[in-house]
Chains A and B, each alone.
Chain A
Amino acid sequence: MAILPFDLISGLGDLRVWAIWILPFAAALIIPAFGKVSKRSTGWVAVAFALASAISAVTLLPGALGNHEIHNQIPWISSIGLKAGVLADPLAVIMSNVVAWISFLIFVYSTGYMKGDKDLTRFFFWMAFFLGSMQLIVLSDNFLQLFFGWEGVGLASYALVGFWYKDKKKDHVGIEGRHVLGLMDYYSPTHSGMKAFIMTKVGDVMMLAGMFLIFAFAGTFGFRELTANTSWATAMAAQHLLIPAAVLLFGGAIGKSAQFPLNEWLLEAMTGPTAVSALIHAATMVKAGVFLVARLAPLFFALAAIGINMDQFFEIIAWVGAITALLLATQGMVHPEIKKVLAYSTGSQIGYMMMALGVAGLSKQFVDGYTAGFFHLISHAMFKASLFMAAGSILHIVGSRFMTDMGGLRKYMKKTYAFMWAAGLGLMGAPFITTGFWSKDAIFAAVYQSGNTWAIPIFAIAVITAVITAFYTTRMIGLVFFGNKSKHVEEMEKEGHHVHEASPSMWIPYGILAVLTIGVGVMGLAFEHQIHDLFVNYLGSTFGIKSNIETVAMDSQPLLGGFLQGVNPVALMASLAAFAIGFGLGYIFYIGRFVDPVKFVNSNIFFYAIHKFFLNRWYLNALIYWGFVVAPLYVARGLYKYFENFVLEGFNVVPEKTMAGGARIMQATQTGVSQSYLYIFGVGILIVVFLLLI
C-alpha cells in the first residue's frame, strides 16, 4: 500500500495532525478572495482543502490502529503557562476520519446543491470554518483549545442555520398559523439560528464552569496531564465537587448534542440549507457532545481505581440519553416535514450513543458500552448524512418541505429511492446487512449485560425506541416514494417542472454513504470486533482500564454457528423483534396503505390525544418559550417602565426640580423694585434692633 504521496505526507510527521484542522481554516481565509474572482470557484477551493485535510487524517489511521499516539505541544498563553497542542490517539483519529471524509462528501454535494445561490462565498466560508473548528475539537489536547473549536462550530451553526437571512416564507420551518399554548410553532431562519446559538450557549456555560472547577484543582486543562496525575480528583471528591464538575461538563455535551432538556434547538436548525443539516446537524457537530463524553468517560471511569465512585455521573448520562431517545423518537412519528423527522431521529439516535456511554461507566466491562456508543456514532454518521442529502435533493426538486407534498416519487428518482432505502434500513436497524443493526445491537447488548439496577428499564426504553424508529423511517419512505403523486407535484408538473433525478454531484455522495451502510453492514460484526479490540488496547494502555476479554465469550452462547459468535441472544432477539414490529406497522399504514393513518388517528380520542401531544412536542418547546423568553421579556419591560424610568429616574428629576425650584424662589426675591428692597431692609433692621433689646 506504499504509494508515493502517502509516504510524502507521512513524512511530515506530527505536522499532519495540525494540518487536519489548520487546512480548513486556511481555506476559510482564502475563500473570500476567490469569491471576488468567481463565486463558483469557492466551492472547489473548499472541496480541495477538505480533501487535503481528509488525506492528512487518513495517513494517521495505520498508526492509530496500532494504538500509537501523537501528542504535540507548542507554547500558547505563556503568561499563565498554558500550551496549545494536538492529541491524535485512536479515539481522535477515528473520529477525525469520520468527520473528514463525510465532510468531504458533503462539500462535494454542496457544490451541486447550492449551485446558483448568490451567497456561495459566505456559504463555503462557513462550511470550511466549521470543518476546521470541528477537527479542532477532535484533535485538541486540552479543554481550553477544545472550547475554541466548540464555540467555533456553534458559531458556524448559527451562521449556517440562518444562512438565508432574508427570512423568506419558503425557508421557515413549522406550520404557519399553528399554535401551541398560544405560541406560534413556525420559525424563521434567523430566529432559529439565534435559538440554536443561545440554547447551546446554556450548555457551554455549564461546560465552562466544569472546566474551571477542574482547572482550579488540577492547574491544567490538558487531557493527558489530567490522566497522568489524578490527585486533583481526590481533592475534588473530598470537597464533593467532582461529580458536579463532571455533570457540568456533560452539560456542554447536552447542549451541543441536543439532548434533553436542551433538545429543542435542533428541530428549528432545519431552516439551514440541507447540506448544512447533513453535515452539522446530523453527521458531525451534534456528535461533538458524544465525542466529549467519549473523551472524558474513560478518565472518570478510571478514577474507580483510586476509590472514587462516579456512578451518579454515568447514571445521569445514561438516563439523559434514554429519555432523549424516546422523547424525540415519538415526535418523529407524527411530523409532516421530512427534515424535521430526520432531525428528531438524529437527536434520538444520539440519545442511544449517550445511553451506551453512560451504561459503559456503570458496567464492569467498560469497553463494551464504549465501543457500542462509538460504533453507533460512526454508523449513524454514514446513514444519517446519506438520508439528509437524499432528502435535500428531494426538497430541491419538489420544492416543498412537507412529505404530504411528495408521494409516488419512486418512479422518477430511482437512484435516490434505492439509496434512501439502503440508508433507511440502516436507521431502522435492518437485520444482518446494515451497520445500524450491528451498532444498535451492540448498544442493546451493552445495556442488557451491564448488570446495573437501571439496566432493565433503560433496555426497555431502548427497545421501544427501536420499534418507533423502524416505524417512522418506514413512514417517511412510504410517504415520499409510495402512493400517488400529491396535488403539489401534479400542479408542478402542470407548470412544466418535471420531477427528475438529482445531478451526479448530488447523488454520488449520498450513494457512496448508502452503499457503505450496507457494505460495512455485511461485515458489521468483524468491524465491531476490530474497534472493540482497538479500544481494549487503548483504554488499557492510556487509562489503565482493564477489560476482561473472557467475559464476552462467557456471557454469550454460540448462536447460528460461527457467524454470530459473541452476540448476546436477548439483545439479538429484541433487535429483530423491534425491526419487525416497527417495519410491519409502517408497512401497513404507509407502504401497503391498508389503513388510512389519518382516519385511524381520528377514530379514537386516545390516539388523537397522543398524536396531538407528540405533534406539540410534548409541550416542552412551548414551555421553554414561556418560561425563558416570553415571561422574562414581560418582566424586563415592566422593570424598565416602572423601576428604571420612574423610581431610578428620580435621581435625575429630583435634583433638577429642586434646583430649578430653588432658583425660582431666589429669582422671586430679585424683584428689582426699590420699595420692596427698602421694605425688607427696614424689617431686617427692626428685627436686629429687637434682638439687641432682648
Chain B
Amino acid sequence: MQFVLLQAVLLPLLLSPLAYYLGRKSGPTAAALFSFGLLLYCTVLVIVPVLSGSYEEHYKWTQLFGEFGLLLDGLASPFAIIIYLVSTVLALFSKPYMVARITTMFEERMSSEKQLVGGGTEMIESSSLKSHLNHQIGAYYALFLVMAMGMLGTVLATNLIEFYVFFEVMLIPAFFMLALWGYESRRRVALLFFFWTHVGAVILLLGFLSIGLSVGSFNYADIKTHGIPPHVLALAAVAIIVGLTVKMASFVVHMWLPHVYRASPTPLNALSSGAMLGVGAYGLFRLIIMLMPGQYEHFALALNIWGLITMIYGGIMALVQDDIRKLFAYSSISQMGYILFGIGSASVLGLSGSEMMFVSHSLGKVILFMMVGAIILQVGTRSITKMGGLAGKMPITAVCAMIGALTLMGVPPTSGFMAEWTMFYGALQTAIQQGSMIRMVTFGLGLVATVITMAYVLWMIKRVFFGKLPENLEKTKEANWYVTGPMMVLAGFSVVIGIYPDVFFNQIIPFMKGLVGV
C-alpha cells in the first residue's frame, strides 16, 4: 500500500479538468457520474488503510517547510471518511439541483436580455442553453472536486504549512461556487465570505508562523518533540483558536454564516455544513489539544462555555427563522457549538463524543440539506410558512428527513445519541473530577440546549411536512433518485452507527486516551 493517500488527495485535483471536459463534452450526467465514481474510489482508498489501524505516508517537500506527509490516525480517519463520504453522495445530489439552478439563472438572464433586445431568440436559446449548461456544470464539478480534496488534505496534513495550504484550497472553490451559482446578492455575500474566512485564515497563519519560526520546523512531529517556546505559546494558541472558531462560526464570529447559507446553492450548503465547518473542529483537536496540551488545559473551560453559548444562541435563532436555509444555518452554528462544548470537556469520552458529534452532525445535516434541496427543486419555495403537508407528497424525503432530524436531536437509535451521551457524560465526568460548579452548570445547560434543538427541529418538521397542504402544492412530486438515494444511504449510516458506534469509536477512543493521557 503505497501512494494510497496521495492518490486520494491528489486524484480529484488532477482529474478536475477532466470533469470539466466531460461536462462540457457529454453533459451533466457524465460529469456527475465521473465525479461520483472518482470520489467513491478515493473514499475506498481512505477507508482501506483505516481497517488496519493508523497509517501514514511521507514525501519530500521543500527544505523550508519540512516534509509533505499524510497521516490517517484515530483522530483524522473519522473526519477523512466522513468528508469523502459526504462529498461522494453530494456529487450525485448536485446534478439535479445544479441543472435546475443553472437553467433558472440562464432563463432569468435571457428574459432580462430579451426585454432589452426584443423577442425571436427561442431557437438560439435552446441550443445555447444546452452548451451553457454543459459548460457551467463542468466548471461546477471541477470546483467541487477541488473543494473536496482541499478538505481531505487539511485533515491528513502533518505539517502546519501543508495544513494552511489545503485550508485555503478548500475556500477558493467555495467562493467561486457561491459567486457563480448563488442566490440574491451572491457577489456581495461571496466577498463577505472571502473576507471573513481570510481574516480567520490570516490569523491562523500568524499563529503557524510564530510556532514554525520559533521551533524551527513546521512538522507536527517535530513541534511535538521539541515543544513550543513559552513566549509564543499563548499568542499562537489564541491566534489558532480565533482562526479556527471563525471557521466553525462560533458565537460572535458566526456572522458570515447565515448570509452565506442563505445565498449558497444547496449542495454547497451541505458540503460546507457537513464537512467544511468540521475542519475547524479538527484543527482544534490537532493543533491545540495535541500540540499544545498545556494551553488546552488553560483554555478548556473557556471553550466549553463558548460552545455552550453558541449552541444555545444558535438554537434560539433557529427557532424564529422562516427561510428554511437560514434555519439550518443557525442550526449548524448551534451544532458546531456542541462540538466546541465537547472539545472543552477535557475528558476522553467528552472529546470522543465531540468528534462523534462531527460524524453525526454531518450525516444528519447533509440529509436535512438534501431535504431542503429536494423541497426547493420540487416546491420552489424556501419560506417555511408557504409549505405544509408535504409528507404525503414526498414520503421518502419525509422519512429520511425525520431520520436526519432525529440524528440532530440525538434520539437513539441514530448516531446523534451516541455522540451526545458520550460528550455530555465526558463533560460531567470532568465536572465531578475537578469538583467544578461551573462545569456542573454548563453540563446542565448543555442538556437544556438539546431540548431547544429538539424544539426547533420538530417545529420545522411540523411546518414543512405536516398540516394542511397548500393548494398550489397539490401537484408536488417526490424527488428523483439522485436526491432520495443519497439521503437513504446517509440515513442508513446514521442508524448503523447509532446502534453499533464501535465503527468509529474503535479508532477515536484509543486515540483520545493517548491524547489526554489516561
A residues near B (Cβ < 8 Å) are 76-80, 144, 147-148, 151-152, 154-155, 158, 162, 165-167, 188, 190-191, 194, 197-198, 201-202, 205, 208-209, 212-213, 215-217, 239, 241, 632-633, 635-637, 639-640, 644, 648-649, 651-652, 655-656
Which one of A151, A239, A636, A639 lies within 8 Å of B412 (CB-CB)?
A151
B61 at the interface (CB under 8 A from A): no
| Contact (Cβ within 8 A) B412 A147 | yes
Taking the nearest CB of chain A, how far is it from the CB of B260, in angstroms?
11
| Contact (Cβ within 8 A) B389 A166 | yes
A629 to B11, CA, bound (A): 52
| Contact (Cβ within 8 A) A190 B349 | no
9 A-B pairs with the lowest CB-CB distances in the bound complex, closest first: A190-B466, A79-B505, A165-B466, A79-B509, A148-B412, A651-B255, A205-B447, A212-B425, A636-B316
B256 at the interface (CB under 8 A from A): yes
A45 to B253, CA, bound (A): 54
Query: Given the complex, which residues of A lie within 8 Å of B319, measured CB to CB?
Result: 633, 636
In B306-322, the 8 Å CB interface with A consists of: 316-317, 319-320
Taking the nearest CB of chain A, how far is it from the CB of B96, in angstroms?
25
A144 to B391, CA, bound (A): 32
Query: Given the complex, which residues of A lie within 8 Å of B501, measured CB to CB?
Result: 77
Query: Given the complex, which residues of A lie within 8 Å of B469, measured CB to CB?
Result: 166
Majority secondary structure, B binding face? helix
Query: Given the complex, which residues of B lie within 8 Å of A239, measured CB to CB?
Result: 432
Taking the nearest CB of chain A, how far is it from the CB of B435, in angstroms?
8
Query: Given the complex, which residues of A lie within 8 Å of B422, measured CB to CB?
Result: 80
In B442-482, the 8 Å CB interface with A consists of: 443-444, 447-448, 450-451, 454-455, 458-459, 462, 465-469
| Contact (Cβ within 8 A) B505 A151 | no
| Contact (Cβ within 8 A) A652 B259 | yes
Which one of B349, B455, B462 lies within 8 Å of A191 (CB-CB)?
B462
Q: Contacts A148-B417, A198-B458, A205-B450 known; list 16 others, CB within 8 Å.
A: A76-B500, A77-B505, A78-B506, A80-B509, A162-B462, A165-B465, A165-B467, A166-B392, A166-B469, A188-B467, A212-B425, A212-B428, A213-B428, A216-B432, A648-B255, A652-B259
Interchain residue pairs with CB less than 8 A apart (20): A76-B500, A147-B412, A148-B412, A148-B413, A152-B413, A154-B411, A166-B469, A194-B458, A201-B451, A205-B451, A212-B428, A213-B432, A215-B425, A241-B432, A633-B319, A636-B320, A640-B316, A651-B252, A651-B255, A652-B259
Query: Given the complex, which residues of B lie within 8 Å of A652, measured CB to CB?
Result: 192, 255-256, 259
Query: Given the complex, which residues of B lie within 8 Å of A151, measured CB to CB?
Result: 411-412, 417
Chain B residues with a Cβ closer than 8 Å to the other chain, count: 51
- Given known A-B contacts A79-B510, A216-B428, A209 and B447 have beta carbons under 8 A apart: yes
In B222-268, the 8 Å CB interface with A consists of: 252-253, 255-256, 259
Which residue of chain A is the closest to B253 with respect to CB atoms?
A651
Taking the nearest CB of chain A, how far is it from the CB of B450, in angstroms?
6
Total contacts A-B at CB 8 Å: 117
| Contact (Cβ within 8 A) B259 A640 | no
Query: Given the complex, which residues of A lie within 8 Å of B362, measured CB to CB?
Result: none
B424 at the interface (CB under 8 A from A): yes
Most chain B CB within 10 A, of A148, A632, A637, A652, is at A652
Taking the nearest CB of chain A, how far is it from the CB of B414, in angstroms?
10
Which residue of chain A is the closest to B499 with respect to CB atoms?
A148
B107 at the interface (CB under 8 A from A): no
B195 at the interface (CB under 8 A from A): yes
- Given known A-B contacts A167-B466, A649-B255, A655-B195, A208 and B424 have beta carbons under 8 A apart: yes
A166 to B392, CA, bound (A): 9
A188 to B459, CA, bound (A): 13
| Contact (Cβ within 8 A) B320 A637 | yes
A253 to B392, CA, bound (A): 34
A201 to B459, CA, bound (A): 14
| Contact (Cβ within 8 A) B462 A194 | yes
Taking the nearest CB of chain A, how far is it from the CB of B510, in angstroms?
7
| Contact (Cβ within 8 A) B412 A165 | no
In B464-518, the 8 Å CB interface with A consists of: 465-469, 500-502, 505-506, 508-510
Taking the nearest CB of chain B, how far is it from the CB of A202, in angstroms?
6
A148 to B450, CA, bound (A): 17
A19 to B448, CA, bound (A): 36
Which residue of chain A is the closest to B395 with respect to CB atoms?
A122
A217 to B428, CA, bound (A): 11
A199 to B319, CA, bound (A): 17
- Given known A-B contacts A166-B469, A640-B317, A649-B255, A78 and B451 have beta carbons under 8 A apart: no
Query: Given the complex, which residues of B lie within 8 Å of A148, measured CB to CB?
Result: 412-413, 417
- Given known A-B contacts A151-B411, A216-B432, A648-B255, A639 and B447 have beta carbons under 8 A apart: no
Which residue of chain A is the closest to B259 with respect to CB atoms?
A652
A217 to B451, CA, bound (A): 26
